[in-house]
Amino acid sequence: MTTSSLPLQKALQAVDILNEKGIDLWLTFVRETSHGGDPILPVIYGSTGLTWPSALIITCSGQRIAIVGRLETAAARATGAYDEIIPHDTGITAPLRETLARLDPQQIAVNISKNDVLADGLSWGMYQTLLDILAPTPYAGRLVSAEGVIAALNGRKTPGEVERIRAAVKFTAQIFNESFAKIRPGMSEKQIAGLLHDQTHRRGLDYAWPVESCPAVNAGPDSPMGHSGPTDTILQRGHLLHFDFGVKVEEFCSDIQRMVYFLAPGETQAPAPVQHGFDTVLHAIQAAAAAMKPGVTGAEIDGIARSIVTGGGYPEFMHGLGHQLGRHAHDGGGMLGPRWEKYADLPDRPLEASQVYTLEPSLYVPGYGVVGLEEDVLLTEHGVEYLGEPQTTLILK
């Protein structure tokens, strides 16, 4: 599958979703995207940017229209996603009004959302501009949120998108394995991260999130877990070593966590508290995966894993069990999480086939360090498929 074919496939997918949601027309309204464009733009337009005010229109009847500056008409056509290209020279107001009058939609979905970052790409200024353009028309009163459209479009991965994620997971496993063979006690977290960086660069890959914290490395009990970068903390025997790492393959990400325990002198196996912590996290992942199916809510799946961790004698982890994965490590839409304020309504959204999720419970073993595993799974009509080989035993070194 070529990169240029993805925007067309997603645009066609959007037509079906609009019909499913009962929405006549979806409008993505942008400008100067090199300065931070709408996050859904790469999905429906590709990597090509837009400079002047532009309107990308997809209708439930299958029309796909791009209203763009005249100097960008060739680029819009090259995406393959739009079968009608309308140029403008001095401003977009007249062609946008004329196009909407011709289509006469009863609902116009625009990219505003209180809950989903990927559905909230219409800036406040552009929203006001759109209202000004539509003020003399009946369409200003027909605007609705595109949140449901975008969540479905971005979440329902095409086979080509899944294959890219699968490839990223495969490369991540290779990088882990080659790096693990070189890690020794006495190395700092930064030095350990450098091994993964070397393997990533050698393969010509990009990172799934900023390199400063990709990978996250936690060596022993004093290393802070979270969205922070490796430190000068030294790995010692008798310590757990935890990684959170992902790469990008053709714009699609992996997001994997792995665990290693470095045996203390005289040890031949992990201490009981370490093994119990690992087994608890593994059990939580396996139970959550077994329960995942279309129609179940993310909160239900999170609750299964969370109860296993707390039932094992640990405090509940202060993050969601998992998130969607795709072009971004955190790919928006519904999530596997508790009904906490910070997650808004995302945990109550039903799971859908073709979505890709992470499963990543965690806990802390006093005196040894962080235990966290993370697997990337594809939800099918019948359950989940692991996109790579899951870690089911604690690596001992």
Over the stretch 202-213, which tens digit does the pLDDT of each residue have? 999 999 999 999
Residues of the chain with CATH 3.90.230.10: 156-396
Q: Which CATH class is domain 156-396?
A: alpha beta
Cα 253 to Cα 331: distance, rounded to the nearest angstrom: 10
Cα 234 to Cα 223: distance, rounded to the nearest angstrom: 10
Kindly state the percentage of the chain with pLDDT values over 90: 95
pTM exceeds 0.85: yes
Residues of the chain with CATH 3.40.350.10: 5-154
Residue 228: the pLDDT is 79
Q: Quick check: 3 pLDDT over 80?
A: no
Task: Report whether 150 contacts 116 (CB < 8 A).
Answer: yes
Residue 393: the pLDDT is 98
What is the average per-residue pLDDT within 283-295? 98
Residue with tokens 């290693």: 260
Burial of 144 (0-12, 13-18, 19+ CB in 10 A): middle
Q: Please report which confidence band the pLDDT of residue 35 belongs to, taking 50, 70 and 90 as the band edges.
A: confident
Instruction: Identify the H or E element spanning 197.
Output: helix 189-202
Average pLDDT, the chain: 96
Cα 303 to Cα 321: distance, rounded to the nearest angstrom: 9
Q: Please report which confidence band the pLDDT of residue 1 belongs to, taking 50, 70 and 90 as the band edges.
A: very low
What is the average per-residue pLDDT within 96-123? 96
Q: Quick check: 268 pLDDT over 90?
A: yes
Cα 168 to Cα 170: distance, rounded to the nearest angstrom: 5
Q: Please report which confidence band the pLDDT of residue 48 belongs to, taking 50, 70 and 90 as the band edges.
A: confident
What is the average per-residue pLDDT within 180-205? 97
Q: What angle do CA 101, 104, 107 make, to 5 degrees?
A: 130
Q: What's the one-letter identity of residue 248?
A: K
Task: Report whether 256 contacts 375 (CB < 8 A).
Answer: yes
Residue 180: the pLDDT is 95
Q: Please report which confidence band the pLDDT of residue 107 belongs to, taking 50, 70 and 90 as the band edges.
A: very high
Burial of 363 (0-12, 13-18, 19+ CB in 10 A): buried
Q: Quick check: 331 pLDDT over 70?
A: yes
Q: What are phi and psi of 109, to 5 degrees?
A: -85, 125
Fold adopted by 5-154:
Creatine Amidinohydrolase; Chain A, domain 1 (3.40.350)
Q: Quick check: 23 pLDDT over 50?
A: yes
